A and B are shown apart, each in its own frame.
Chain A
Amino acid sequence: MIVALDIILRLAAWLLLAPLLPGIINKVKAWVAGRRGPPVLQLYFDLAKLWRKSVVLSTAVSPAHVAGPAAAWIAIITAALLLPVGPAGASCSFRGDALLFVYLLAFARFCIVLAALDTGSAFEGMGVAREVSYAVLAEAAIITALLTLCVQSGSVSLATMLAPSAGAGAALLAAGLFGVLLAENCRVPFDDPNTHLELTMIHEVMVLDHSGPPLAAILHGASLKLLLFAVLLTEAVLPLGKLSLLQAIGALVASVFVVAIAIGLVESLLARLAFRRVPLLLTTAFLFCLFALLVAWKGGRL
């Protein structure tokens, strides 16, 4: 009973808080640009509106066009259940759940990109090709980050891996994971969520032909994924597992807020990279994680 209640409460928190993050980022961007900007709760309004809207489907699409977003949304939510919250641990925790976490996000990507290819649009094909190609480097980086945490904690379970701080290589790991966060969530400098030129987009171009509730599922899933990465980054670096529950939650909220502001600042101050440069930047993120791993490795020996 208590377990069920715990899962429901956490799910509600994850689901309800996730759309806040893009709102904060947009507010920061507007503030830097000297605009008033959309309200922080804008994504909630958008989701509510999309959920009630009717749907325009392409004549080319198969049932996968609707099933894909649903499956991706579920995959991201179940990944959220694996992520611990400070000393309270995760709702579902077992040995090897760290790898399941990574592969659940890969499964979500698989579903979204198949739903996009379903339309037969060349633009969406381009977006999908970029998404799956850059994910290769991002996945190498995130596996390396997990290896770092594994070397540090001697465990393969997220709850134990994320409890202590990342030690000496914390700054390296944070830099690497921040790069992965930007790439995986299609933010500047990898992708521009605001662009209107379809040729230069990754994530936005994949959802061009989605509308109504399936689009709501995709947008909500994307915001949840961003939150998951922000929490993962925070917990990988800070020793949240060592604090009391209230302190941990306070620190978590504050740091996720800081991450959101950082994303907003990056988006305001940097331009999107040319596509041929993206692999270089991702390789840099991978190298940051690899150096963090080496530091952790040496730390274990001393």
Chain B
Amino acid sequence: MTPGWLLLIAGVGLVAGIFSAFKSPRVWLAATLAGAVAVFVAAVCMLASGVPWNWQPDFVIGGEKLHLQLDGISAFFLILLSVLGGAGTLYSSEYWTDKNHPASAPAGRAWWNGLLLNMGLVLVCANGLHFLIAWEIFTVCAYFLITRERQRPTARAAGWLYLAASHVAMIFLFAFFALLAARAGSWELGPMREHSELAPLFWLALVGFGIKAGIFPLHIWLPSAHANAPSHVSAILSGMAIKMGIYGLVRFTGWLPTPDSAGWVVAALGVISAVLGVAFALGQHDLKRLLAYHSVENIGIILIGLGFAMIAAAHGNAAWGQLALAGALLHVWNHGLFKALLFLGAGSVLHATGTREMSRLGGLWRALPWTASLFALGATAIAGLPPLNGFVSEWLVYLGLFDAISAHGPAAFAAIFAAIALGLTGALALACFVKVCGVVFLGLPRSEIAEHVHECGWRMRLPMLVLGAACVTIGLAPILFWPALATASAAWQPELANVTLPAPLVTLGAFHLALAALVILAGIFLWRRVQHNGVSRTGTWDCGYAAPTARMQYTAGSFAGIITGWFDWILRPQRHAHLPKKLFPAQADFEEHTPETVLENVVEPTASLVMRVSTTVRQLQHGRVQSYIFYLLLGLVALAILAVMGGTK
């Protein structure tokens, strides 16, 4: 079967899902999963054969002929879409049921399919107009998914912010595609690198796609939207929807010429997003908000790779550019997989306890052993630690940077800073995920809600298992995924076709395999030794404290306090403290909250300034006829003066 038929099956499945969403959840589940499987097979077939698929029927939508195409880059992103879409579909069938959410679940299923369908369409559209239409529809579908819990004001606010930010992005994309169509003479998209006059359009694309991708400081919509959406929606938003921004950047830097400084700007934005994203994450107390900021961080890592690949492309396709690009592309998959896993895990915690507040959780590993171990796996992966997938992609980016440095080329100096920033990011991410795992899953329950909880069922567990298995597979056998990376790279830059394997992925995979096996063996060995020597159980020693309570455990805020102190200049945390006073202090409290600094200190003041100016200007328009006649007179006088002055020249 050709990719075309498979994609048709997928489309039919997703549309059938929309229609069955209200009547029959089972039919919806089956149809959507079938659609996801069909997309997956189609994309894998394309990547395996390396032959792009093109379809241009005589079918006109909005005055433009339909043109669908599936090349290496589309297929690469479609695979991620199908895996995350399938996982989220199955997960939501237990997480967001008709029983628990009678008002929002059926429509949620329909919007979900709309989101998947239109993200898929964006990935295969090769016509600017249709690209925009599908882009707008998927943006709106995501809005309705984010606001599934409309009764909560925070969810409504998050939805509005998302909608507003997305439409600012949309304006830039309209401008980008319209100018592109005007200058190129057609809405048809395709390689046009020889039209060097198109290069300045890149900046419009960078802002438009950058807002969607959540590049710092354009990420303002991202934390609240991810935190307030249902968890399977957060997973697809973070795993896939923000990657659509990356897709746009990869696609159009591949097809269009770029200005000379483009690569440098992208890499610089990547460094800023990576370091500040994780710094903001450390300041969060809300589990899902924290994960959302990590999306900013990982988008940063992807952009560092992409930026250096663009610099290399502008300087004769140096070998280090291939490594950086391979790292960036692999990180797109990896981040999609482990971030979706973490969001689904967070959803399972939320499902069990009803709170996202980390300071009220603790000791959940007892009640949620599956969630806890899978979350820990995802945390190890996102912290970029061997032997999992996060390390493989960061390692490829690192190799690209190190090679750029030893090549002593034009990018060497920038690569030094990027490499150090990447090292900082890795260590900060480790600190952040130690905090999350330690506070949420280890220790003792900090409040009653964390005490009486239950593990999720198999329909929520299976998607997490699949995502976890994917993380492990990419980590232990990265070489299996090299052909996909090579095909996608070749679609980005035809000169990168037929490149040999630039990094010893086989050796790395073997090392990871040995490491994983040894860790398991050593764990079993040590456990048997412990059993052999005899175990006695007692309370935590805690330096001999006689009556410890669970609330004395270290909190998420104090844990991150040292590092967030270093970043006070940008985090600007708000602290409210009533310190203990006098002898026998009765009451004391301390509260710390890290706001979304860019939103509260830049965007909101700017917006309120615009509001104030507009309100003042509006007073001119009040409906008194006499004044309007006065305006007319003033206008006439002004025109007359202008005419007289102009006449003298």
Contacts and interface: CB of A to CB of B under 8 A. Distances in A.
Contacts of A151: 405-406
Contacts of B402: 96, 99, 146-147, 150, 156
Interface stretch (A47-55, A164-172, A244-252, A264-272): A47-55
Nearest to B437: A114
Contacts of A59: 537-540
Nearest to A96: B399
Contacts of A147: 402, 405, 416, 419-420
Contacts of B552: 122
A64 B386 contact: no
A94 B512 CA distance: 13
A135 B427 contact: yes
Contact of A117 (B419, B442, B534): B442
Contact of B541 (A62, A73, A95, A121): A121
Contacts of B548: 121
A129 interface: yes
B534 A96 contact: no
A113 interface: yes
Contacts of A110: 380, 383, 385, 430, 434
Interface residues of B, number: 78
B543 interface: yes
A66 interface: yes
A100 B386 contact: yes
Contacts of A78: 511, 514-515, 518
B56 interface: no
Chain A binding surface SS class:
helix
Interface string B371-402: 01000100010011110000100010011001
A151 B401 CA distance: 12
Contacts of A293: 416
Interface string A112-144: 011001111111111011101101101110111
Nearest to A109: B430
Contacts of B210: none
Interface residues of A, number: 80
A84 interface: no
Contacts of A66: 523, 526-527, 530
Nearest to B535: A55
A103 B426 contact: yes
A208 B540 CA distance: 9
B71 interface: no
B538 A58 contact: yes
Contact of B365 (A62, A100, A104): A62
B430 to A, nearest CB: 6
B503 interface: yes
B563 A57 contact: no
Interface in A37-85: 51-60, 62-64, 66-67, 69-71, 73-75, 77-78
Interface in B545-589: 548, 550, 552-554, 558-563, 566
Given A96-B508, A125-B558, A133 B563 contact: yes
B536 interface: yes
A95 B523 CA distance: 29
Given A66-B527, A103-B385, A128-B434, A73 B522 contact: yes
B541 A70 contact: no
B562 A133 contact: yes
Interface centre among B366, B426, B503 (most CB of A within 10 A): B426
A117 B434 contact: yes
A125 B395 CA distance: 30
Contact of A54 (B363, B376, B416, B534): B534
Contacts of B424: 136, 139-140
B507 A136 contact: no
Interface of A: 51-60, 62-64, 66-67, 69-71, 73-75, 77-78, 92, 94-96, 99-100, 102-104, 106-107, 109-110, 113-114, 117-126, 128-130, 132-133, 135-136, 138-140, 142-144, 146-147, 150-151, 153-156, 198, 208-209, 212-214, 217, 279, 293, 300-301
10 closest A-B pairs by CB: A125-B554, A120-B443, A117-B438, A143-B423, A54-B534, A132-B431, A133-B562, A139-B427, A70-B522, A136-B427
25 contacts: A57-B537, A57-B538, A60-B540, A67-B523, A70-B522, A70-B523, A71-B522, A95-B504, A96-B398, A96-B504, A100-B386, A103-B391, A106-B430, A109-B430, A110-B385, A117-B439, A118-B443, A125-B554, A128-B438, A139-B427, A142-B423, A151-B406, A213-B529, A214-B526, A217-B526
